[in-house]
Structure 1
Amino acid sequence: MPKNKTILITGAGSGLGEGAAIGLARQGHKVIAGVQIDPQVTTLRDKVKELGLENNLHVIRLDVLDPFDVNSALRWDIDILVNNAGIGETGPVSETPIELVKKNFETNVFAPLVLSQKFIAKFVKEKKKAKVIWLSSMGGLFTPTHFGVYCSTKHALEALAESMKEELAPFGIQVQTINPGAFFTGFNERMLETSFRWLNETNFTKTADLQASIDAQVNVPDWKLNPQDMIDEMVRVIPAETGKFRNVFPPFVEDMLKDLHAKAWLNTI
C-alpha cells in the first residue's frame, strides 16, 4: 500500500469516526468520510473548509442501509475500509422488542458486511493490497448486564473479522478490529437511554431497577474517558501496515478483559 492511504470511514458524522477522519486527513491521508444524513454532509463539509482540509477530506452521504449510497461509495478507489457506523440498544434481553434487536444487527452487522464484501471483491479482482477494519468495542469481548443486544452485535463482528482475517490473508488483504473502551462521545450516553422509550409498567423489568443497574455500571470515574485519546489511537492503527489484529484501548481495559476471560471458566449458575 502507498505511504499516504485512501481511507473510507463510515459513521463519520460525529464522535470517534469524525475525529479519526479529521486526524487522518491532517496526517496527509486522503479520507472519504461517509455520513448518514444530508445535514451531516453540510455540517462536516463546513468544518473541513474551516480546517483547511478540503484537499484531503471528502464528505459523502453513506447510509450503510441505503443500497444506492453503498453503490455510489464503491466508485472510490480505496486502500482501507473502516466500518465505524453503528447504533446501540440497551435494556433487558429478555424483553427487548425483537424488531429493535433485528435493527441493531442490520445496522451493526449485516449492512457493514455487505459493504465489506463488495469492496473485498474489488480488492481481490484488482489484486490490491488493502485493509478492512471493524470498529468493535470492549463490549465485543464481554457482556455487561442490560447491554446484551448491543454487545451481541459486536461479538458477531469479532467472529466475522477473525474468520475474514484468515480467509483474506492469501490475497494480501489485512483485517483488524479496534475495540474502544467507554469513551463518552455522545454515542454511549444516548445508547443508555434507548430502552426507556419502550419500557413501561407492563414489563417485569422495572424502570427504576434498570436505571440503577446502568448507573452502577457507567457512573464510575474510570469510565469517563477522553475521546481524543481514542481518536489518536485510531489515527495510529488505521493506516499502519503492521500491528495487532485486535486493538483494545486504553490498556487498562485490555487487562480487565483478559482477567474476565480467565475468570469466565469459573462461572457458575
Structure 2
Amino acid sequence: MTLPAVPSFRLDGKRALVTGASSGIGEACAVALAAAGAEVTLAARRADKLRTLEDAIKGQGWQARSLAMDVTDISETTAKIAEAGPFDILVNSAGLARHSAALETQEADFDAVSDINVKAAYFLSVAVAKGLVAAGKAGSLINISSQMGHVGGVDRAVYCATKHAVEGFTKAMAIEFGPHNIRVNTICPTFILTDLTRPTFGDPVKRQWIEDKIALPRVGEVEDISGAAVFLASDAAGMITGSALLIDGGWTAA
C-alpha cells in the first residue's frame, strides 16, 4: 500500500520575524523557530536583551539576528520590515496589559494598550504581508492573542477589547490574503508563567482563581506556546487559516 505523506514541522530555509522577542512567550517562540531550522530575526525595543538572546541562539548552532524597533512606531516598523524582509513567518508577541475596573479606565491606559495590541499588530501583519505579496511567496502570520479574545474577565475590559479586535482582523486578513497563500492565525494562551506574570502567580488568591479555571493540574509554561508557533508556521498547518488555537488548559471550555 501507499502510505500517506508525513507533513514536516521543519522550517529550514524559512525566515521568521518574532516581535516581543526579548522575553517571555516571544523569546520562547524565537528559540523554538530557530531550533526548527528557521533564520529568526529577533525584534523588540531592548537591544541589549536581543543581543544576549541572539548570542545564546547562535551558541546552539542556530540562526538569529537582532532588529531593535518599537512596533508602535508604524512608519519605522514598516520601513525596517521592508528593508529586512521578506519574512516567511511572523510571530507577533509584542503586547501590553493594564488592568482596572471598567468604571476606572483611564484614557491614557486605553490608548496605550490599544496602540500596541491592535494598531501595531495590525500594521505589523500588513507590512509582512506586503513583503510576501511583492515577492510572490507564501507565508504564515501568527498573532499571539489570548483566551481573553474569546471570553470576558473582571478588570480586563480594555485588554479583552483589544484581543477580540485581534481575532477579528486576523479572520479578515485570512480571507484577504488567502489567494496569495498567506495564512493568518492566532494563538490564544491562558495565564502563562513568565517574569511579567510572576507577581500575579505570587498572589495566593489570584493563583487559586487561575488554577480553579484551568482544567489541567498545572499552570501554563512558555513551552506550551512555542510548540504551537512552530506547528502553525510549518507546512503541517498548511490548511489552517483564520483560526484561533486556544492553549488555555480548558479555561474557555467551561
TM-based fold match above 0.5: yes
Aligned 8 A contact 2:186 2:244 in 1: yes
Aligned 8 A contact 2:77 2:124 in 1: no
CA 1:65–1:51: 2 relative to 1, 3 Å: same
> TM-score with structure 2 length normalisation?
0.82
Give distance in 2, aligned partners of 1:62 and 1:39. 12
**Percent of aligned pairs with the same residue?**
26
- The number of equivalent residue pairs is 235
1:80 maps to 89
1:71-98 per-position Cα deviation (integer Å, ceiling 9, x unaligned):
1232222112221111111111110211
Give distance in 1, aligned partners of 2:162 and 2:23. 21
Give distance in 2, aligned partners of 1:93 and 1:213. 21
Please tell me the residue identity of whatever aligns with 2:170. Answer: A
| 1:9 maps to which of 15, 18, 39 | 18
1:163 maps to 172
1:242 maps to 239
Please tell me the residue identity of whatever aligns with 1:239. Answer: S
1:146 maps to 155
Please tell me the residue identity of whatever aligns with 1:227. Answer: V
Give distance in 2, aligned partners of 1:116 and 1:228. 24
Aligned 8 A contact 2:142 2:229 in 1: no
Larger radius of gyration: 1
Give distance in 2, aligned partners of 1:143 and 1:110. 21
SS at match of 2:192: coil
Matched, 1:232 2:234: no
1:218 maps to 210
Structure 1: tracts of 5 or more residues without a match: 194-210, 260-269
> TM-score with structure 1 length normalisation?
0.78
Give distance in 2, aligned partners of 1:171 and 1:216. 46
Q: How far off its partner does 1:216 sit?
A: 5.5
Give distance in 2, aligned partners of 1:227 and 1:114. 25
CA 1:46–1:119: 2 relative to 1, 3 Å: closer
Pick which of 29-38 and 227-236 moved more.
227-236
Give distance in 1, aligned partners of 2:225 and 2:100. 26
CA 1:148–1:214: 2 relative to 1, 3 Å: farther
SS at match of 2:193: coil
